[in-house]
Amino acid sequence: MLQPEQLRYVYVGVDLHKRQHTAVILNCWNEKLGELTFDNAPAAFPFVLNAVNQHVKAGMTAVYGLEDTGGYGWAFGLYLFRHNQRVKSINPAFSSAKRKSYATVQKNDSWDAECVARVLRDDMNHLPDFKPDEHYWVMRQLVMRRRGITKSLSAVIRQLHVQLSYVYPSYRSYFSEVDGKTALAFWRTFPSPRHLNNVTASQLAEFLRKYSNNACSTKKAEQILCNVREDGEGNDLYLEEKELIIRSQVRQLRYFKKEIGQFDVGLERMLTQIDCQLNTMTGVDVVTAAELTAEIGDISRFATADKLARYAGIAPIFAGSGGKGRYYKSKQGDRSLHNIFMSLAIRQLVVHRGTKEPRNPAFLEYFHRKMAEGKTKKQAFVCIMRRLVNIVYGILKHKTAYRLPEKTDCG
């Protein structure tokens, strides 16, 4: 049943792409009033506004729904915002679910835009407003770029493992991390065992101490040389080419690590500028705090923590019939934000490797209490995630530091 408020709007769903956008205009009855395709360029945006206004009658308002407000839709959303238009950010999961809810599943720009408009019509009051804050947009770009560099770093590390297995069969026993500072210096200087032929244990120990801040001992040098001797002479075919590959991988790893360090400094600076104190939480470093802040954006977009939970796909969904039913875990919402909260929840429940003491005793007790109440492990885990949403919301909204709760505080 339509609400009186829904009658006052014209709903514009926009399917966003790199070069062109497609907009579909619906009325409150889901009747298609118009459709237009326009370039993703500021010069084309006034044309869209004029075309939409032709369908807006006296006493009515146009409301726009954009999926990708952090990417290709940023420029168009910013234009609409500056021209006092009402704009909503729509999670792609919502429009995808709407598209799949019909008997005949379609996939084209026109239908995608119409599904965005239908989501806008049905759930407008639950959708966050698009607020083009340059600070959060830039932070999100930094997070995405850092994530890409980290992915490239992991790929090169895997490739380095492959190359080292050819020339140093026992390489895993040399260093705790194959991409550590000392390890990279070793692979670069000694890319194959032939470079160790005339190196004594004391000479190698001096080399290792230089790059490990005196952490490596003569015993470590003797162990490496012993392993090299035990492995015997390997395959010397194309040895220069193999060394070239290893040294190239070392250079790449050093470059990626330096880049990541610079991004971490930039993210920490941007968090300080908005007085974000998420990194005071247990299990949250600067990178996680930046990822959370970038995905959430301006916390004022969400009137309550419940709305943030719904946006992140953490709020449960009730399904029932005939007076019976149960709550199910939502599979909608912003999956990137959902995954961050999932990872954060795991960190609250882990125990320290040495002492076996829980990292966050209050959350561990809360988890066991929920299970004692009859919830499954998955349900109790979602309760942890939901509780974390409340904490993150409070820290961002009130700009306060995290206080490790007493065991009774998680109730």
Q: In CATH, which of 1.10.287, 2.120.10, 3.30.1360, 2.60.40 is domain 137-270?
A: 1.10.287
Q: 327 versus 239: which is more confidently predicted?
A: 239
Residues 6+ apart with CB under 8 A from 331: 93, 313
Identical fold at 4-132 and 137-270? no
State how far the Cα of 104 lies from the Cα of 117, in Å rounded to an integer. 18
Query: According to the model, what pLDDT value does residue 333 have?
Result: 78
Q: For position 356, what pLDDT does the model report?
A: 80
Tokens 């007076």 belong to residue? 323
Q: How far is CA 102 from CA 29, 99, 116, 331, in A?
A: 17, 6, 14, 18
Six-digit token string for 126: 């639950």
As a whole number of angstroms, the distance between CA 266 and CA 260 comes to 10
User: What's the token pair of residue 131?
Assistant: 């607020």
How far apart, in whole angstroms, are the C-alpha atoms of residue 119 and residue 91?
Answer: 10
Task: Give the confidence band of 329 by pLDDT, cuts at 50, 70, 90.
Answer: low
Distance CA 217, CA 245 (A): 29
Angle at 179 between CA 347 and CA 209, to 5 degrees: 110
pLDDT over threshold 70, residue 292: yes
The model's pLDDT over 298-318, given as tens digits with 9 standing for 90+, comes to: 998 898 999 999 889 898 766
Amino acid at 205: A
Give the separation between CA 234 and CA 194, rounded to whole angstroms. 10
Domain extents for the chain?
4-132, 137-270, 275-318+328-410
Task: Supply the pLDDT for residue 81.
Answer: 93
CA distance 144 to 136: 12
Query: Looking at residues 34-46, what average pLDDT do you find?
Result: 96
- Each residue's pLDDT tens digit, 194-209: 999 999 999 999 999 9
pLDDT in tens, 100-142: 888 777 789 999 999 999 999 998 888 888 888 889 989 999 9
Residue 4: both structure tokens together: 């009186």
pLDDT band, residue 409 (cuts 50/70/90): low
Asked if 52 contacts 12 with a C-beta cutoff of 8 angstroms, the reply is yes
- pTM, full prediction: 0.76
Q: How far apart are CA 370 and CA 381, in angstroms?
A: 9
CATH topology of domain 4-132: Nucleotidyltransferase; domain 5 (3.30.420)
Q: What is the mean pLDDT of residues 327-344?
A: 83
Tens digits of per-residue pLDDT, 20-33?
A: 999 999 999 999 99
CB 175 within 8 A of CB 182: yes
Identify which has the larger pLDDT, 105 or 159.
Answer: 159
